[in-house]
Amino acid sequence: MSRIGKLPIPLPQGVTIEVKDHTVFVKGPLGELSQDIDPDITVGIKDGQVIVSRPTDQKRHKAMHGLYRSLINNMVEGVSRGFEIQLELVGVGFRAESKGQQLEMNLGYSHDIVFELPQEIKVETKTERRSNPIVTLKSHDKQLLGHVAAKIRSLRKPEPYKGKGIRFVGEQIRRKAGKAASV
């Protein structure tokens, strides 16, 4: 049995789950999410816990068992607590400013970049003197949040020589040695 798939998912207070026609609907205080699941995988609710099971030990069924358990767990966690990703802008003159659902950034190009965010994502920017600007993204949808964060990071990936660019807070960048000076 799948190590991840066999773990039951506890339902926090205020979270309801419903399964209709191979689609799982999760509602909670922060919003609601839905996920289509494979017809072979069964999702049941028992004693305030969600249990995901598979029919056989085929490799395909084993893979989907753990996948759908993780997706449903992320949905339950998202509608109850939410998710947060922080991005750090490293570079001289790099700045970020949020205006509603738009994120305006100066990343060292000849123009400012205006990034339109989906309605499900809340954005905050924090700029303090003598520190790098921090962009905080919050949402109840983990997949969408990761996708948007990766899109923002791709606007200026961290380069290996000086480390300039957009990176996740706490991310380690592999640095390369520069050109050796001749004496």
Domain endpoint, select from 27, 60, 80 = 80
Specify if 2 maps to a domain: no
Whether residue 161 is contained in a domain is answered as yes
Task: Note whether 60 and 103 are same-domain residues.
Answer: no
55-80 residue pLDDT tens: 999 999 999 999 999 999 999 999 99
pLDDT tens-place string over residues 123-174: 999 999 889 999 999 999 999 999 999 999 999 999 999 999 999 999 999 9
Residue 180's pLDDT is what?
79
Domain assignment present for 176: no
Of 33, 48, 80, the position where a domain reaches its end is 80
DSSP string, the chain: --TTTTS-EEPPTT-EEEEETTEEEEEETTEEEEEE--TTSEEEEETTEEEEE-SS--HHHHHHHHHHHHHHHHHHHHHHT-EEEEEEEESTT-EEEEETTEEEEE-SSSS-EEEEPPTT-EEEEE--TTS--EEEEEES-HHHHHHHHHHHHHTSPPPTTT--EEEETTPPPPP---PPPP-
Q: Are residues 75 and 94 in the same domain?
A: no
Tokens in use for 71?
A: 């997706």
* Amino acid 102: pLDDT: 95
In a domain, 112, yes or no: yes
pLDDT band at 2 (very low <50, low <70, confident <90, very high): low
Whether 181 has a pLDDT exceeding 80, the answer reads no
Domain of residue 139 covers 83-168
Distance CA 69, CA 53 (A): 9
pLDDT tens track for 26-52 = 999 999 999 999 999 999 999 999 999
Report whether pLDDT(11) > 80.
yes
Supply the CATH number for residue 164's domain: 3.90.930.12
Count structural domains, the chain. 2
Residue 179 is predicted with a pLDDT of: 83
State whether 87 and 75 are in the same domain: no
The Cα 91–Cα 78 span in angstroms is 32
Same domain, 137 and 61: no
Q: Check pLDDT > 90 for residue 17.
A: yes
Asked whether residue 89 is assigned to any structural domain, the reply reads yes
CA atoms within 13 A on the CB side of 62: 6
Sheet strand arrangement including 49-53: 9-10, 49-53, 42-46
Please report whether residue 88 resides in a domain. Answer: yes
Residues 88 and 158 in one domain: yes
pLDDT at 1 (0 to 100): 47
- Same structural domain, 74 and 116: no
Does 76 share its domain with 16?
A: yes
Q: What's this model's pTM, rounded to 2 decimal places?
A: 0.89
In a domain, 34, yes or no: yes
87 and 134 part of one domain = yes
Domain final residue pick, 62, 80, 98? 80
pLDDT of residue 183: 65
